[in-house]
Amino acid sequence: MVVGLVAVLASILLSRLELGAEALKLCLQIAVAMIAASLFLTALFVRQIVEDRRQIGESEQRFRRAMEDSAIGVAIVGLDGRILQTNPAFATMLGYSREEIEALTFFQITHPDDLQIGRDTMIDLKAGKIDAFHFEKRYLRKDGTPVWAQLAGSVIRDEDNGRPLYLVSQIEDIDARKQSEARIAEAETRWNFALASAGQGVWDLDMRKGGTTYSGTWVKMLGYADGELDGDPDRWLTMIHPDDRELVAEADRAHLAGETPFFEAEFRMRHKDGHWVWILDRGKAIERDAVGRLIRAIGSLTDITQRKEAEARLIVSAAMLADEKERLRVTLQSIGDAVICTDAANRVTFMNPVAEKLTGVTSGEALGKTLGHVYWAVDEETGQRIGVARASTGGTGPAEQNSRAVLIRRDDTRCSIRQVVSPIMNERAEFCGLVIVFQDFTDARALQRQLAYAAAHDALTGLANRSSFIRTMEELVDRSGKADAADTTGSVGDTTGSIGEHQFMFVDLDHFKLVNDTGGHAAGDALLKRVAEAIRGVLGPEDIVARLGGDEFAVILMSGSAASGMIAARSIIDAIRGLNFTWDGRAHSIGASIGLAPIRAGCGEVDEIIARADAACYAAKAAGRGCVSAAPDEDLKGADTAPSKRLAAAS
């Protein structure tokens, strides 16, 4: 437009210079054209600006709408930590209104233990070290309870100078997932302990952690130290016998492809010292990603070397019996296991010297007699006779194993045995008799019982230990709940009785530390044994006593009201007070404080009962020690859980 005006002015000035009419006309035409072009371009520019503003407005509207409607929290945070703007989802997650939460800073709503990660992230953003962030932390709800959240966001910078302006964060509530992970971890701990007690090794493949971890039982099975095999998820494959790798790979492929519900294979693995160990490996994929790739799998390994060796011996024995009976006899005479053979009529046809020794019957006396005159085995638990299987005509005749049999000799003495009974089939698949292979399992069975006892009892006092006591309490609480449900839903005429009330006592010794400090741990141990005897001595044979750890004991009165529980508790206190314990010539006097809580329908879970009794014991100590305090009944109301929470907090 300016150029056009200049052209008009130039045409006017030129007119004074007496130029021709054609020249003036041409100048005016040029000026008008330039003005028209400028007006057209101006209109285009104005239209573009209006369109840009409209698109910006729509974009802002979409952003605000998306932020408002988002199912996860969104917050805009200033560089000073103030919450500039948030959406309803974030405010609801923390129990605030939008106005309340936008008046706070992220420091005020962050759990104290997680403040540092937020500060470090803010410092790195301001310094330009990072442009985005992603981490987990805990917020504090309005009522003060923590909630786990996952944050993902980025910094918004000035387009001209790159200076950070504010942060935009997306906050997802993952509290339920975190609690679930904690429960899974606890369950895995119990599971691993149970497997370790049974002598089974455990492996855990987690691709997110980048490797496989093995339990102590697993690595010791192969002669390694704890942690020596952790890491490389494929290392175990290199330890498998070359002849067995294809079998293992096929079982692994079938499970990963979903063709089998779990992975199971028997194979040989190289021990650290070089020999081969037969392994039974069972596992299962428990987590996969969206496309089906394995994320996590857990399994167990069992040493089955002895079983495989026994199976091998049985296979060899059966083959020799079918091909050359005399050579089999020579072999069976020298075998380390006891062997008895019968014919199809169940008459004894062969006994080796080991079988003669274990049964107390000579081969000459046994031959031709029915098996029951020579070999009488019963189940260790039920006392029922263990019959020997006779294969049906045309059957394959699998071996039958039993590891809890007891052999009753002719003189009525008993011997724990492990037996394998295999039917003998001829080439026409007809039953021809039995081969009974058994071993003296007395020492091994005794060791198993000792291990089972040690796993459930305190080594010092002989009382039930914490884990077995908790299991007993869980069973009682479960039975109480089921009995209450049966009483509530039972029809008219239902004779199902309600289970009796039990009383739980938490016993804590008073002034015990002084004995340890002056007499040493030997004195403390001796005193704990005396205390255990004293508690056991004032209770009935059906009552349960346990040592929870240190100087803490627990008691379950199997029957009785709260009043009888108070009487029993005072008896325990009197018995402990009257111990008259002396060590190295010095007399020591201790006492006990007891918290009492009932076990009945509606009493809550085991940890709640223990928490109530623990809080009551704390109250007894606060009242001067050497006394008993009962948990108040109002703590048992199912609709009001706040008192039990206060007791747990006090504990």
Task: List residues with catalytic annotation.
Answer: 551
Residues 6+ apart with CB under 8 A from 32: 4
The four Cα atoms 286, 292, 293, 295 give a dihedral, to 10 degrees, of -30
Helix axes 305-323, 325-334, angle to 10 degrees: 150
Main-chain phi, psi angles of 370, to 5 degrees: -70, 155
User: What is residue 214's DSSP assignment?
Assistant: E
Token pair recorded at residue 584: 């190295």
Can you list the alpha helix ranges (DSSP code H) found in 70-154? 88-94, 98-101, 115-126
Whether the Cβ atoms of residue 425 and residue 514 lie closer than 8 Å to each other: no
Strand-strand pairing, 338-343 and 591-599: unpaired
* CA–CA distances in Å: residue 448 to residues 24, 308, 321, 325, 441: 123, 21, 35, 38, 10
What's the helix, strand, coil split of the chain in %, to 5? 45, 25, 30
**Counting beta carbons within 10 angstroms of the beta carbon of residue 624, is it exposed (0 to 12), middle (13 to 18) or buried (19 or more)?**
exposed
Token pair recorded at residue 141: 């709800």
Whether the Cβ atoms of residue 476 and residue 468 lie closer than 8 Å to each other: no
Whether the Cβ atoms of residue 591 and residue 509 lie closer than 8 Å to each other: yes
Main-chain phi, psi angles of 319, to 5 degrees: -65, -40
Sign, Cα dihedral of 457, 459, 463, 467 = negative
Main-chain phi, psi angles of 298, to 5 degrees: -130, 145
Token pair recorded at residue 115: 């403040």
- Give CA–CA dist 514/457, Å, rounded: 26
Amino acid identity for residue 350 in this structure: F
Main-chain phi, psi angles of 278, to 5 degrees: -75, 135
